[in-house]
Chain A
């Protein structure tokens, strides 16, 4: 099961985390975003914001990265400190 963690405003749409067996056909982050976007309205649009970051196993990556059930995936909306 992939562990998927959400921060900030993503939590309002999906919640803090999901344990998900990746469905057939979901083999990249881009496909995962599309899959979750069908389940949770507004999610894909938020992720497409250029300032959203995706972290795969502790490394910030692009959406074309392949993923598996062993991965830890984090969705980070635009940062807002200070």
Chain B
């Protein structure tokens, strides 16, 4: 299931519900991304923009790719849109499989795709003003592992 949420969510509750809802599961991998305070910079919040149709479509494409590549029983993606405060979760990716490698690797791939291949735009607000954040070379290198 894919959710774009304008409201804060509780990743721990969602992960428990997800895990309990998958029959025959042997492995669940998850990633939760949070808004970092960034120390000296004093980040206070992010605004996440998205595209009304292409964002969900791009996530669905990534999900199909993951399902083709790994033996998954189910998966759950929640991504915030709108204003997100420091410390709040931005994203949850959870993957369920019979075996750990399928769960680990699909979760890793889905996060890399969410970083670079899905229409989200992130504006950071801090004591130094505001700026649009773009993926770095490391993000693109990580993404390139999945071709």
Contacts and interface: CB of A to CB of B under 8 A. Distances in A.
Interface of A: 7-9, 12, 53, 55, 58, 60, 74, 76-82
Given A7-B119, A7-B121, A55-B54, A78 B49 contact: no
Interface of B: 33, 48-49, 51, 53-54, 79, 90-91, 111, 114-123, 132-135
Contacts of B121: 7-9, 77, 79-80
A82 B49 contact: no
A80 B111 CA distance: 11
Q: Name A's interface SS.
A: loop
B33 A79 contact: no
A55 B33 CA distance: 29
Nearest to B31: A82
Contact of A76 (B79, B111, B119): B119
A12 B118 CA distance: 21
Given A8-B49, A82-B33, A77 B132 contact: yes
Nearest to A5: B51
B135 A7 contact: no
9 contacts: A7-B49, A7-B119, A79-B121, A79-B135, A80-B133, A80-B135, A81-B48, A82-B91, A82-B115
